[in-house]
Structure 1
């Protein structure tokens, strides 16, 4: 079916209940959030790529996760900032579909990368002596490439193609912070039950399969630690970074799915937009901070870099 819609563009509403009086404040806050995410995640990528002693599988996965977060924010936040700063709320339907694909693509990619990170931690605890033979930098690079090229694409491409064929007959307001499958299908004037079912199945695969493997890997980690290690706290500490990031990603999403499954509970658009912001964007700022505070090697690298900068500045201005 070709796209026979008479509506060629959509209007991004953003936070539905916020009046125009707060546009400057919202845009400034979003710009600050974007800058923090850009600088923090960019720093992680630069640290990992620029320091040979960080060229290890775990840090390679962390760098891929940081790159995914930057790209997600770049696809969504600039348009949201422009909507509140310049009043640029209009968006062509094709651009909306592209943004929708990117939103779900990078969201899926994060889930798969967290799964890979869990498997990496599992092998490091279960087979510590063979870890460097099983998980090599090359294999980690190939696995991350599979997540980028195959897994994230295959779980979202079909939905994006189907959404691009949706017929819009009148309503063209996206009551969300960015285009999503739910927001786009709500504008359709034809039956989109099949599209919603396909999207739901894909979402469950992206959410539950990686989460199931992550939980399974941690059950194995706990079993191994309790039977092999006397100082289990020290052994488990190597997994705390990953656990914190996993909690930030999965906990709010599971909460949203549970709430949405309860028919008696109806989330108003303002609350829905706020929750979307909290679980989609806020973790992208928090993750790099978790890496810096919980990962000894990254912390030491940051200290070395800061000392070098301080040394160069001292010699530049004092001599």
Structure 2
């Protein structure tokens, strides 16, 4: 939709194409799959956040970082997914001009925040493994909370800069966004002027925001591997390695997809539009519900708390399984007497 202006035509809304070649008969299954992904992400991330807030034994630096990561993912999915779900469920694929750029701001802010939070996670692991005796004096809850607040503010600044770069160019004609969200590289190509410079600026900013934390993460894990290798004779190296593998999985889920996504947007690859969109969707949203599940399954403290909660919710089931065993033991004792 466009409106006429004295010397130009201004776009008043954008249309999210999602999967451009998807047949209408598949709209409902796709919307149900996206809704299921959103519900799982909502429940999983909310559970992690609530557990960390309510359980005093989880008031530790690493869990504060995990809670911030879960909150970021929760916001991202809540801002991005409902609109594309509505497109396939109700046929409402349009988004207002200002709504699109607000979504663009949130997408890039929260994407940048994920990189910074995961960098803090790697630094925390480095200190815990390489300086275990000084860990509690170096890494405190107050310090981690301060760094997390700074990360939120810095990420918002990055998102604002990328949004200003995209919004300052005129949009006069095409308004069909080849994505499931309003991302900078997908929106700015719709401008009615040459945006090569603006696209390069956005790409450079995005690469710096992701590559600098990634460099810090790689350096920290090189040092961790070195320390673990030198202490191979110590039994604690297995625990350190187990803890790090969880974080390496999360890092792989976040950084590799995001870097590939920016490169795909910058360099037009010869891919079917629907396949390209599927890759983008998997790269963007799968880590958000996989991350809390990974932490719940591989983090002993969270796993134990979830087990305690399940036992308190279903005590009758536990009693039903235990009672026959107790009766059997009692009968053996009586016979022995």
TM-score range, shorter chain: over 0.9
1:218 corresponds to 2:224: no
What is the deviation of 1:312?
Answer: 8.6
| Aligned equivalent of 1:293 | 297
- Contact kept, 8 Å, 2:87 with 2:93, in 1: the verdict is yes
Q: Distance in 2 between matches of 1:270 and 1:42?
A: 31
1:175 corresponds to 2:143: no
> Looking at CA atoms only, which structure, 1 or 2, has the larger radius of gyration?
2
What is the deviation of 1:163?
Answer: 1.5
1:276 corresponds to 2:280: yes
- Contact kept, 8 Å, 1:57 with 1:135, in 2: the verdict is yes
1:49 corresponds to 2:89: no
- Contact kept, 8 Å, 2:14 with 2:175, in 1: the verdict is yes
User: Which of residues 245, 250, 261 in structure 2 aligns to 1:245?
Assistant: 250
What is the deviation of 1:259?
Answer: 5.6
What is the deviation of 1:242?
Answer: 0.8
Matches within 5 A, 1:9-48: 9-48=13-52
For residues 175-221 of structure 1, give each alpha carbon's deviation from its aligned partner in whole angstroms, at most 9, with x where no partner exists: 11111111111111112122111101111111110100000000110
Calculate the aligned-residue CA RMSD, in Å: 2.0
Matches within 5 A, 1:152-191: 152-191=155-194
| Aligned CA distance change for structure 1 residues 314 and 295 (closer, same or farther; 3 Å) | closer
What is the deviation of 1:270?
Answer: 1.4
- Contact kept, 8 Å, 1:159 with 1:195, in 2: the verdict is no
| Aligned CA distance change for structure 1 residues 280 and 160 (closer, same or farther; 3 Å) | same
Q: Distance in 1 between matches of 2:94 and 2:266?
A: 32
Stretches of structure 2 that go unaligned for 5 or more consecutive residues are 1-6, 320-337
- Contact kept, 8 Å, 1:181 with 1:199, in 2: the verdict is yes
- Contact kept, 8 Å, 2:109 with 2:157, in 1: the verdict is no
235-244 or 122-131, which deviates more: 235-244
The number of residue pairs the alignment matches comes to 311
| Aligned equivalent of 1:207 | 210
- Contact kept, 8 Å, 1:6 with 1:168, in 2: the verdict is yes
Q: TM-score, normalised by structure 1?
A: 0.92
What is the deviation of 1:260?
Answer: 6.1
Q: Distance in 2 between matches of 1:189 and 1:201?
A: 22
Q: Distance in 1 between matches of 2:157 and 2:316?
A: 48
- Contact kept, 8 Å, 1:176 with 1:269, in 2: the verdict is no
| Aligned equivalent of 1:64 | 68
Q: Distance in 1 between matches of 2:32 and 2:73?
A: 20
For residues 9-30 of structure 1, give each alpha carbon's deviation from its aligned partner in whole angstroms, at most 9, with x where no partner exists: 1111111110212111111111
| Aligned CA distance change for structure 1 residues 250 and 135 (closer, same or farther; 3 Å) | same
Q: Distance in 2 between matches of 1:71 and 1:5?
A: 34
Q: Distance in 1 between matches of 2:298 and 2:30?
A: 31
| Aligned CA distance change for structure 1 residues 276 and 49 (closer, same or farther; 3 Å) | same
Q: TM-score, normalised by structure 2?
A: 0.88
- Contact kept, 8 Å, 1:229 with 1:235, in 2: the verdict is no
- Contact kept, 8 Å, 2:128 with 2:135, in 1: the verdict is yes
Q: Distance in 2 between matches of 1:194 and 1:139?
A: 39
